[in-house]
Amino acid sequence: MEEQGYFFRDTWAEIDLGCISENISSVKNRLPNDVEIIAVVKANAYGHGDIQVSKAALEAGATYLAVAFMDEAMALRNKGIQAPILVLGATRAKDVQIAVEHNISITVFQMDWVQEAKNYLKDTDKLVVHIKLDTGMGRIGIRSKEELKTMEQMLRMDKRFYLEGIYTHFATADELDRSYFEQQFHLFKDMLSVLLERPKYVHSSNSAAALRFSQAYFNAVRIGIAMYGLTPSLEMEQEIPFTLKEAFTLRSKLIHVKKLQQGDKVSYGSTYEANGEEWIGTIPIGYADGWIRRLQGMEVLVDGKRVPIVGRICMDQCMIRLPYALPIGTTVTLIGIDRNEFISVNDIAKRLETINYEVPCIIASRVPRLYKKDGKIVDLKNYLL
């Protein structure tokens, strides 16, 4: 237990920081030297751990970080990250002072917002902003050239703003059919043409676009899912130009093992009944950990073998059918490798009829994250700043 750090339960996620570094390096090797990597570490780095992933990504060559909300940017600043951070989502105008104080770049896309933000900026303030263009994602962003012109003028006329970047986001870069991507890409270029001056950063690509469309690099790419070693979509799996290394592993341990007789029942609702003599193990993970009830019947790995989760998944525990009696303390792998067997994040996503992005994100914060580098668990103390 020593190596597992400071927690008292037999369920944990292992995040391989070596994989994160390799994935960033693989992307970087494909990019021209003047294209920077913005590592997308929102949502606690897609559930992998914001500070550890940020450090690994920056060490591997990313130069900028991106998060969804100011709170996430603040969390990184409070943990000692000094690299530039861009908030991709909306920030309240009245919170701009916090962005200035902590040198956090924010996304702007409404005139009224800029007008309102002025009330909260002191003469000496410098607020770093990136303009967001909506070229077809239909989420946030400016949709017309006229608005963009006005927005640029408003920002450039007021010294308290520093227009550092302009960007857009693709809705279908991971789909084999490129037509909508092309449409967005051309609209983005067309909108850029009305600018008086190009800001320092022009960026449009997420992982899928960065791996497929060099024409859309501009001078920075925003890499999320690929950094975690996951494919942006199953349909573009064949188009990944290098091996992605999956960083997320989820493990537990047998905390109880028993022999059931024919007809004995398991878990709430008594939905599972032993078919004869069966060895049943209990593991301390349940739906409150994000291991949701829909995963009943999914396989896990124990002693290098695939075995099913049987009976309903409880809040904190679930049961698995063992191939034979196994000692308490035996490791159970829910996501990851055990000898010759592998359960990928994609396997869980398929079972849940969702996308791989969602899987590590829904593994609850009460599941401790351990960090591995070169096959060894990294001392947690080095990472808890």
Site of interaction with ligand PMH (CB under 6 A): 40, 88, 169, 206-208, 222-226, 232, 357
Interhelix angle for 70-78 vs 50-59, to 10°?
70
The residue number with the shortest CB distance to ligand PMH is 224
Name the one residue in this structure whose structure tokens are 């308490």.
Answer: 328
Please say which residue, 130 or 312, places its beta carbon nearer to ligand PMH: 130
Q: Is 268 a catalytic residue?
A: yes
Shortest Cβ distance from residue 169 to ligand PMH (Å)?
4
Residue 3: strand, helix, or coil: helix
Q: Is the dihedral of CA 91, 96, 102, 106 positive or negative?
A: positive
Of 94, 268, 350, 376, the active-site residue reads: 268
The count of C-alpha atoms lying within 13 angstroms of the C-alpha of 371, restricted to the half-sphere facing its C-beta, is: 21
Q: Is the dihedral of CA 291, 293, 297, 302 positive or negative?
A: positive
Q: Is 383 a catalytic residue?
A: no
Please say which residue, 184 or 207, places its beta carbon nearer to ligand PMH: 207
Of 42, 55, 132, 253, the active-site residue reads: 42
Shortest Cβ distance from residue 38 to ligand PMH (Å)?
8
Please say which residue, 174 or 289, places its beta carbon nearer to ligand PMH: 174
Shortest Cβ distance from residue 211 to ligand PMH (Å)?
9
Shortest Cβ distance from residue 87 to ligand PMH (Å)?
10
Please say which residue, 23 or 333, places its beta carbon nearer to ligand PMH: 23
Name residue 322's beta-bridge partners. Answer: 279
Contact 102, 77 (CB under 8 A): yes
- Specify the DSSP class assigned to residue 261: P
Q: Active-site residues: which are they?
A: 42, 268
